[in-house]
Structure 1
């Protein structure tokens, strides 16, 4: 049995005005592809009221900006980046190059090569997301990426100094104060003053996400498709409704389209959580955003047992899944579809977002069914190589290749094999 104490409000969810985002984005991309810096500047003036002599910050600019940042913030940035670096380097160490000899003289190998150039987009609209600098730039550097171009928009016509500090300490090679589709397009196609990148990572609004989607494959690789932040909490009868409510709202404040879902085996916990959410919204400074998200997309689902809760949670396949039960590690065995798990009441999604060290760029909108989030491996190209040094084995492979290729009617492929069978084993062929 499933009891929904609260569910999404379809009427409210559909009340927002409709914008043809793909068409708008395509127009901007095409314009920048045709006109380069001139169009980048025009869109920056239009969307951000920002048109400096140079969008790129010089080293002197960076030094002056960082000098304006309070020392405590700088120290915190460095501490968080130490956490992110430690985890990312451990991930990198887990990815091995190898070579094996499958038969005498037949060598197969694998190498993991960093992408040559990466673009990192650091959002700055509603909130300056310093943490995205750690997650995108620093992780790329841990993977060995030689050059990272980083873009972040101005906020209310000003340079976001804290974000610039985070980008610099993360290892960005070039920092641009440039936002939106114009930043993504400029990095992807290249302009007179910005070198084209091979890959773009980082979250953003619907227009940034659409720009990445349209440019993917055509111009660049991307980390993953991005959507609104999601949180799902699985809680048992021992969970504290205040903690549950606080953690739900922590993600609902991301935007008015951020779903927050509780699945619990306790009707009491469900009802008390709703009461706590309503109480906390009266005092939360970001209630104007979080309240809209909760009203439109909040859900509380009561189930008979935790096995059912885990099953439903897997169907949602949400970005962040928090486990507030007496045995939170059960979720590691019971669940498979999530961007990241947060186990136990001492852990919260906000730790992952801001400081604990794992990456916060995660799959949304059900993408957790087939992919994980951003990690060191996303910045690596896993390539293979092969070498045959034994004449006998080359001839035997030639015979096998000939038969396998002709079974698929690939005569040209077959003859490459025939040539080795003829050269090394003396086989006779009509065409040779």
Structure 2
């Protein structure tokens, strides 16, 4: 019988303030549809305090921005993108065209045709999220997309140089410093300065997700991305400090991130809780991570690893990390997860993105 050492408190009690996200998004989309670039500029000024002479970066501007990025960061981006490009090519090669004669004279076939024009949204409200550039722009180019438009918001009124470097090195054909609904809507409907795309990929906040929902049908989308999730399965051999660190590495993404530990060891569970509390005293992202941990953090003790795998499958988490003596066993025992990270040193922060 599972024993809960820590349960999720649930989201904070509403304060009475509510934002009608669908109505706000609908208004932005319709204004941009009817007024084009002038509406894009107005909403960028309103939401991001951002109104440059041109939202699109010229080739010279991109080169100047990339030149500001430390050499080590550039080398890291290139290494990461090399890994992702290699894997994406292997994925593409696994999706094969074929034709067969299913009955005499009846020929059926499958042909995979790259989309002509794709818009990639690279979020950056709290932190520069370089990984989204790798995951969307680079994979689109590997798939054979001819033209990729990439948008990312300013951060604190400045161009996020490392993000621009990642976008450029991933192969973006056009880069716009433009965020939020105004970016998604502009790419989806097209304006005088922003080409209409056929498909939009990339995560974002609730407003971006709602914009993709409302625009789906007139364009294609990848998915409706919600808060990130992490679940760790650990046995008595797991390092509680690693469990605590890896839980917080995802909890810091936002105030609504589920972070769950399922373990066969009560000692590992209790030590992990204590270490999370201690780390939150000094973690630079504690303001966000502590809210997620309190509201959505869980630590559950079970009797066996088979019970742990079954319970983890019930959660069906986006990211599942296996910190056990024989981590590859989870490949056979589990089936409901977005991505599976086997063994130590597979923290989602780099296992997922590097």
Q: 1:13 to 1:237 in 2, by over 3 A?
A: farther
2: distance between equivalents of 1:61 and 1:21?
A: 34
- What are the ranges of 5 or more consecutive residues in structure 1 without an aligned counterpart? 356-432
TM-score normalised by length of structure 2: 0.97
Q: Structure 1 residue 234 and structure 2 residue 224: aligned?
A: no
Aligned to 2:309: 310
Deviations 1:199-251 (A, max 9, x none): 1111111111111111112x211111101111011111111111100000000
SS of residue in 2 equivalent to 1:131:
helix
Contact 1:322 1:343 in 2 (8 A): yes
Contact 1:13 1:297 in 2 (8 A): no
TM-score normalised by length of structure 1: 0.80
SS of residue in 2 equivalent to 1:354:
coil
1: distance between equivalents of 2:129 and 2:240?
A: 28
Aligned to 2:247: 248
SS of residue in 1 equivalent to 2:119:
strand
Aligned to 2:330: 331
Aligned to 1:51: 51
SS of residue in 1 equivalent to 2:320:
strand
- CA drift of 1:33 comes to 1.1
Q: Radius of gyration: which is bigger?
A: 1
Aligned to 1:99: 99
Q: 1:13 to 1:327 in 2, by over 3 A?
A: farther
2: distance between equivalents of 1:261 and 1:338?
A: 13
SS of residue in 1 equivalent to 2:91:
helix
2: distance between equivalents of 1:133 and 1:346?
A: 23
Give runs of aligned pairs for residues 129-208 of structure 1, distance below 5 A: 129-208=129-208
Q: 1:39 to 1:225 in 2, by over 3 A?
A: same
1: distance between equivalents of 2:254 and 2:17?
A: 16
Deviations 1:25-76 (A, max 9, x none): 1111111111111110000000111111111111111111111111111111
- CA drift of 1:119 comes to 0.4
Q: 1:16 to 1:72 in 2, by over 3 A?
A: farther
SS of residue in 2 equivalent to 1:18:
coil
How many residue pairs get matched?
A: 354
2: distance between equivalents of 1:98 and 1:254?
A: 42
Deviations 1:259-296 (A, max 9, x none): 10111111111111101111111121111111111111
Aligned to 2:117: 117
Contact 2:200 2:220 in 1 (8 A): yes
Aligned to 2:88: 88
1: distance between equivalents of 2:108 and 2:203?
A: 37
Aligned to 1:225: 224
Q: CA RMSD for the aligned pairs?
A: 1.3
The structure 1 segments of at least 4 consecutive aligned residues displaced by more than 3 Å after TM superposition are 13-17
Deviations 1:53-112 (A, max 9, x none): 111111111111111111111111111110010000011111111111223332221100
2: distance between equivalents of 1:56 and 1:174?
A: 7
1: distance between equivalents of 2:123 and 2:11?
A: 29
1: distance between equivalents of 2:152 and 2:254?
A: 19
